[in-house]
Structure 1
Amino acid sequence: MLQIAGHHHISMITKNAQQNHRFYNEILGMRRVKKTVNQDDPSMYHLFYGDMTGSPGTELTFFELPSVGRTHRGTNAITRIGLFVPSVESLHYWRERFSKYGVSHGELTTYIGRAALHVEDVDGLRLVLLHVSGDEVPDYWTAWEGSTVPKEHQILGMGAVEMTVESAASLAHTLEHIFGYALAGETEQGLLYQSVEGKAYGEIVIVEQQGPKERAGRGSVHHLAIRVKNGEQLRQWYDRINEHGFHVMKITDRYYFESLYFREHNGIVFELATDGPGLTVDTSIEELGQRLDLPPFLEGRRAEIEAMLTPIE
């Protein structure tokens, strides 16, 4: 039976790759697991951060657009990303760490019923650290020993992803009737859906809001990728999405995974991405994220591509 196994990765826009690296690698302590390029426009970086190997469900990815302006916030957008931490004590640790580094953050609060700490990255991307509260997370999420953050406080992986839309009913229908998400309840923030019933690592929060649509810029989210097992299932999902009247924008082999893209009625872009072959297909675990990795079809243009990119420490 087809089932979405949780989040795969989520992709954002950053204005400056070096500052982005400093925030996610040095301050948040996540591992940069892949330094590559946007395969559709190799003049821009595509950076991946995650756990030891960039496991599905831990990956935050960023496209660098140096000329990008600010985000004009509004509806019909992915508006917040949850990141799991091990304990309430971890939230206190992070509040002190953010103060030390001059990072914009709130005070300890709650979000979808969990102890939480809101924070913004250097581009204004809205994140929320969430106490995992003893809930099960995938056993393959692996701590990175090289992190600047002690293991007992490290970010584990992705939690709830918030989507603010004009029609909650339309998005809910897509999640339920195409992908089999289950309604876990109504929270103060909005409707809470789970891709695997009873599991917190694939949650989506739907917030209904009328008004101007978000205009994307630095710190905006381009799309959420959700997990499928393999290429065979990806093609079954392709048929299912088309049967429900959506147009699949494209299905493509990204070398590190296969994927397809479509836009639901509010304009939210979803990617469906396979678990494999993974980010270690061309790099050893020890060397992940250190050099510029290119898929085979771009390798012949390496000199040209490297000349277009500003080196990152």
Structure 2
Amino acid sequence: MYKIPGHHHISMITKNASQNNHFYRHVLGLRRVKVTVNQDDPSMYHLFYGDRTGSPGTELSFFEIPAAGKTYRGTNAITRIGLLVPSKDSLHYWKSRFDEYGVYHGEITTYANHPALKFEDPEGLRLVLLVSNGQKAKHWEIWEKSEVPAEQQIQGMGSVEISVRRLDKLASTLKDIFGYTEISRTDDEAIFQSIKGEIFGEIVVKYVDGPSERPGRGSIHHLAIRVKNEEELAFWEEQVRARGFHSSGIVDRFYFKSLYFRESNGILFEIATDGPGFTIDGDVEHLGEKLDLPPNLEKRRTEIEAKLSPIEEN
């Protein structure tokens, strides 16, 4: 039986690629590992940030939609992203850094039983720093040119929060299809781990009634979970279809292969392979420095570049 080893990436909506680029590179100290386009709509940027190579489990990705309006927060949505930092001392470092850069944040607290510091990006995307206690995405590598010291750098994705009206429906999907372990449960919250004891595959499901979220800038589009290769991806596609969910079928995204499905609350999941990764069309030293296009779009480069506004490298 295959196991899901953790998160692969998570994808959000930004209204302004230049502002987004500044925050995630220069404030959070992540590496921009890929500048490409939405392969289903090449008129918009698709930016990826992560560790030195954009390893699975470290990737934050953004679609730029200049016309994106305000997010109206609600339920049946992915509502917060956890990012791992090495220690409790790191939380104090980041609290001071957020004060320096004018980042909206709370006080040091706990979240899902982890020492934590909640904050928001300039578009209101909700995030939380979590102490990793030595855990980090398996392939995480220090980004030596980061503006954040190596001992304080973000080490990948941790707990991802999903708010839904029907908690038991999502719980069934995670446990019965994908083999997640339920490690705690209250009336309005359940915590699941893809590998028991490991935070980098953790999903926090909250019961929230009310209207569904209306997405906009700073909202989360989907969560991608990891599989090793296409053989495993085909296996999970069979499991998803067997439970009556509609699948996109396997899609070749060039940097990885994946499939998409919505569970019963409407949450969009992607299942994505570890490889081949972002170095398939670029060397490690120069990742993210120019617009990369998959082969099927390369012949349209002139047309695509004409529709994209340059990203300010501030």
TM-score (norm: length of structure 1):
0.98
Are residue 61 (structure 1) and residue 61 (structure 2) matched?
yes
Instruction: Look up the match of 1:71.
Output: 71
Distance in 2 between the 1:239 and 1:144 partners?
38
Structure 1 residue 186, shift from structure 2 partner: 3.1
Q: Secondary structure at the match of 2:213?
A: coil
Query: Given that residues 112 and 189 in structure 1 are in contact (C-alpha distance below 8 angstroms), is that contact kept between their aligned partners in structure 2?
Result: no
Superposition pairs of residues 24-63 of structure 1, within 5 angstroms: 24-63=24-63
What number of residue pairs does the alignment pair up?
312
**In the alignment, what sits opposite 2:197?**
198
* Residues 229-285 of structure 1, C-alpha deviations (whole Å, 9 max, x = no match): 111111111111101111103420000000000000000000000000001100000
Counterpart of 1:169 in structure 2 is 168
Q: How does 1:49-198 map to 2 (within 5 A)?
A: 49-134=49-134, 136-186=135-185, 190-198=189-197
Measured after TM superposition, the shift of residue 138 of structure 1 is 3.8
Q: Tell me what 1:242 maps to.
A: 241
CA distance in 2, matches of 1:152, 1:189: 36
Distance 1:240 1:108 in 2: 40
Paired position in structure 2 for 1:232: 231
After superposition, give the CA deviation of every residue in 1:189-215 in whole Å (9 maximum; x if it has no partner): 721100011211100000001101000
**Deviations 1:26-74, CA, capped at 9 Å, x for gaps:** 0000000000000000000000000000000000000000111010000
Amino acid at match of 2:131: H
Flag structure 1 segments of 5+ consecutive residues without an equivalent: none
Q: Which residue of 1 aligns with 2:279?
A: 280
Gaps of 5+ in 2: none
Between the aligned partners of 1:189 and 1:11, the Cα distance in structure 2 is 26
1:155-196 residue CA offsets vs partner (Å, 9 max, x unmatched):
000000000000110000000000000011137972110001
How far apart in 2 are the matches of 1:192 and 1:24? 27
Identity across matched positions, percent: 62
In the alignment, the residues of structure 1 paired with residue 187 and residue 157 of structure 2 have an alpha-carbon distance, to the nearest angstrom, of 20
**Whole-Å Cα distance in 1 between the matches of residues 166 and 126 of structure 2?**
22
Alignment CA distance shift 1:172-1:188 (3 Å): closer
Change in CA separation of 1:127 and 1:188 when aligned onto 2, cut-off 3 Å = farther
Measure the CA separation in 1 of the matches of 2:72 and 2:164: 15
TM-score scaled by length of structure 2:
0.98
CA contact (8 A) 2:77 2:164 kept: yes
Distance 1:187 1:132 in 2: 23
Contact 2:188 2:207 in 1 (8 A): no
- The secondary structure found in structure 1 opposite 2:159 is strand
Query: How many Å separate the matches in 2 of 1:113 and 1:271?
Result: 27
Equivalent residues in 2 for 1:245-260, closer than 5 Å: 245-260=244-259
Q: Partner residue of 2:10? A: 10
Q: What one-letter code is carried by the residue in structure 2 that aligns with 1:30?
A: L
One-letter code aligned to 2:49: Y
Query: 1:96 corresponds to which letter in structure 2?
Result: S
Letter in 2 for 1:245: G
Counterparts of 1:310 and 1:214 in 2: how far apart (Å)?
Answer: 29
Q: Secondary structure at the match of 1:281?
A: helix
SS at match of 2:3: coil
In 2, the alpha carbon distance for the partners of 1:6 and 1:290 equals: 28
Do 1:35 and 1:48's aligned partners in 2 also have CA atoms closer than 8 Å?
A: yes
SS in 2 for 1:140: coil
The whole-number CA distance in structure 2 between the counterparts of 1:94 and 1:190 is: 27
Alpha-carbon distance between aligned partners in 2 of 1:20 and 1:188, rounded to the nearest angstrom: 37
SS at match of 1:108: strand
Q: Cα offset for 1:2? A: 1.4
Given the superposition, is the C-alpha separation of residues 126 and 188 from structure 1 closer, same or farther in structure 2, using an over 3 Å criterion?
A: farther
Find the aligned partners of 2:90 and 2:115 in 1 and give their Cα distance. 10
User: Residue 278 of structure 2 aligns to a residue in which SS?
Assistant: coil
Kept in 2: contact 1:114–1:133 (CA 8 A): no
What CA distance in whole angstroms lies between the structure 2 residues aligned with 1:14 and 1:188? 34
| Cα contact 1:111–1:189 (8 A) shared by 2 | no
**AA of the residue aligned to 2:126:** R
Q: Once the 2 structures are TM-superposed, how far is the Cα of residue 110 of structure 1 from its aligned partner?
A: 0.7
One-letter code aligned to 2:30:
M
CA distance in 2, matches of 1:189, 1:160: 17
